[in-house]
Structure formats: C-alpha cells, structure tokens
Amino acid sequence: MRREFVDTCDMFLGNVEKSRVRRIYKEFVGDSTADEMEIDIRVKLAFDLRDPDIITDLRHFNEGRISIYDTFWEYSKKFLEGTAQDSVVAVDERRHDPIVHLARAISVEDLKNQIAKLCPKDTPIPSVQWLRLQFWPKNPWNLSSLQFTGILPLKFMIQIRQLHMDHIDSHYASAIFRYLKELAIKFKDNTWLVFLDDKHRCKIGEPGHPVAAIERGKQVVVTTHETFAVSDHDFTKCSLIPSVTMICNIPDNIEGSFYRGHVNIGLKDATFQTSSSLRHMTELYDILLHTEKHHPFLMLYTDGGPDHKITFLRVQLSLIAMFIALDLDYLVAVRTPPGHSWKNPVERIMSILNLGMQCVGLMRQKMSEEMEKLINGCNSLEDIREKAKINNQLEEELLQSMEPT
C-alpha cells in the first residue's frame, strides 16, 4: 500500500522527492517504518516549520560540503552591525546581554529581502525558515532551541519596551553621522574617529556594607551555601562614574563595522571629580598621546548631555583647547539628538560592562575616626563638598578610601 501511494503521487504530482511523499503517507496512515532515518528527520523538520525548501538548504550542510550561504551570512552581519545606527536594531533598556532586538524588519521574509538587496548578484539566498534558525532562540531552555544555530546575534520578538524616542531632527542627525563616517573613511589614514559616553554611575557602599554595582541586576551563579547579599542603594554617599572612550578602527567603506576599536574606561569620583567637558577633553588628550600617532584630523561623536552639548560655550572652549593642544588641522564634533544616545556606537560597550559588573559589590575603605564622623553628618554630595571646603583633609582621605575600589 505504501509503495502504491508513492507511485500514485509520483504519477499525479510529477517530480516529487520520495522522502516528502513518505512523510505525507506516515502523517495520514500512521506508518512508523523508516527507510532512511536522517532524511526522515530533515523532512519532519520541514513539515514542522512549514517550509519545504529547508530540505534543499540542509543538503549543503552535509559533511564534506562547503556552505554556499557564507556570503549571505557575511552580509547579514554587516547589515546588523553597519546600519544599526539607522534603527535596524534596538537596544533593550535592560541591557544585560549582547543580543539585539529586530526593530526595522517586520518579518523574517522582510529581513531576508533587505539583506538580499545588499548581496552580489547570483548569491545563493537561504529560505525563510533556514534564516530564522540562524537567530538566537527566544527561550534557550525550550527543546526547540536546539534547532537554532546562533550564527546571527539576533532575536525576533514582539518589542514591548520602546527605548527610542522620536525627535523632529532625528533624520538629519542620522544623515550628519553618516557624513561624519564617510569623511573619516576618506581620510582614514590621518583621522582619529572617537566615540565618547559616560555610563550610569555606580554607587559605593559605606565600609562594611557593599552595594551592588548594577541596580537592576540579573541572576548570578553562587555555591549552594553562599548568598550574594548587598545593601540597598538608598543608603550610599559616594559613587563612581565610568567614562568610556572608543577609538574606532575606521573600515574601508561605509558598509563596514564601526563597532570595533580600542576602548578605554576611566573611573571618576562623582563627588570631587564630576564629569565636565574640560575633564573629558583632558582624558582624551592623554589617551591620544599614548597612541603614539599624530593625526591632523579629530572627529568626535557623543551624546547630547551637558558635558558634551556643543552649543554650550564651555564645551566649545574645551574643544578649542583640544584643537590647540594636539596641533590639529581639522576638528569636528557631532552629538546625538535628544533621547537618541543609543545611536552612539560606544553604547554597545555598556552591555559588556554590565555583564562584568553583575557579581560585583562595591564599598569604600574606612577613613580616620574624625573624617568618618564628619561624613556621617552629610546627607548629600553638596554637604560633602561644603565640608571639604572647610576641612581639606576630608577630600584627600575620601579619595584614598575609594582608591582600592
């Protein structure tokens, strides 16, 4: 009966793969026999995913065969990296992993078509379901996650928290950023392209009372008899501000990645070493000197905070000082529009910092008894600064107590 069914399908349906016909027969009749287990497994996957073309795709991954989709995967990664600043992907507000969320392509089919337009002519294009299986699974604990390969660091999901804010000048700001990158590419051998931003401050606990470095923490791994306990964030007096600076490795063309480069992280005491435009330029000046290069062009891309807002006179004066100190021929500073700091490529470094600080509790060392009594009477940063004006020893000892942190 089974053979007759296969022959009948072959006669009426034309050239149909026998493995697909066998699967149809097994679905309707309940036949549990299998001639070729590997092929039947692949056919079952195609039926489960409702995509018959995936069988052809899987043939190219047999042992000894070279994948024909390497070019497509390469352009897929360029699409996700090189155009992220144009709203292709969205960074979740709870940035605790390196996976981004698809925001522009409304479906996998749409994503495939957009990437296919970037690929050279006659590039083999995978089916929709095979492209989807290259994503990261929505839930890695489900059995279905074993079908995903994770080649593309992307999840396809419904976005329930929209971090991006709309701004009337967002289109023009994106165009200016693109012009900045094109100019950097044109003079890449003589240009520093630098991205700067401050991470959210990390609170420092009092002596004997460590505080979690990340306020919205994730689960961490500890031994069965260990408890990772820290104090509440509302009872801290000191904090650190991590400043992230990335000197970009400028690619050869605009489709290349602008997320690679040399990263420097500086720590500042929020009480006596507040972030300012002059402090940022001083730190950047020291970093550029250590590169042992002298480029005549410096291009900066920052967020629109008060320490980087280029319409402020103090920011303009600090840029002029940098221009003179480095003996530059050309300096350009571009900032993101309000509410669009996610467009800054250095934001991706923040995700890595969050991962590294998940299991960290911070506290300062104890100062002298006199200084401890003095700071215990302070309820704000302004109180500490006012007391430090009266007693200079407070600032010195407080900075020393935070030095090990």
Regarding whether 239 and 121 lie in a shared domain, the answer is: no
Classify residue 166 as exposed, middle or buried by CB count within 10 Å of its CB (0-12, 13-18, 19+): exposed
Give the confidence band of 139 by pLDDT, cuts at 50, 70, 90.
low
- β 191-198/297-302 pair status: parallel
Same domain, 247 and 324: yes
**Is 63 part of any domain?**
no
CATH of the domain at 225: 3.30.420
In the structure encoding, which two tokens stand for residue 66, read together?
């070279």
Q: How far is CA 273 from CA 30, 270, 277, 376, in A?
A: 74, 6, 12, 20
**pLDDT attached to residue 91:** 43
Portion of the chain with pLDDT greater than 70, in percent: 63
Residues contacting 166, CB < 8 A, separation 6+: 339
**Is residue 131 in a domain?**
yes
Q: Where are the alpha helices (DSSP H) in 291-376?
A: 313-325, 347-356, 369-376
pLDDT in tens, 32-42: 554 556 556 65
Q: What is the pLDDT of residue 298?
A: 95
pLDDT, tens digit (0-9, with 9 covering 90-100), for 376-395: 877 777 888 888 888 888 88
Q: What does the alpha-carbon distance between residue 352 and residue 394 come to, in Å, rounded to a whole number?
A: 34
Residues 76 and 151 in one domain: yes
Residue 405 counted as domain residue: no
Q: Which residues face 242 on adjacent strands?
A: 267
Task: Please state the domain count of the chain.
Answer: 3
79 with 38, same domain? no
Q: Nearest 5°: phi and psi at 198?
A: -100, 135
- Strands 238-248 and 100-102: what pairing? unpaired
Dump pLDDT digits (tens) for 270-287: 888 888 889 999 999 999
List the one residue out of 198, 296, 204 whose CA is nearest residue 243.
198
Residues comprising the chain, all counted: 405
Q: Tell whether 403 is covered by a domain.
A: no
pLDDT value of position 96: 46
Mean pLDDT of the chain: 74
In which domain, by residue range, is 8 found?
2-50
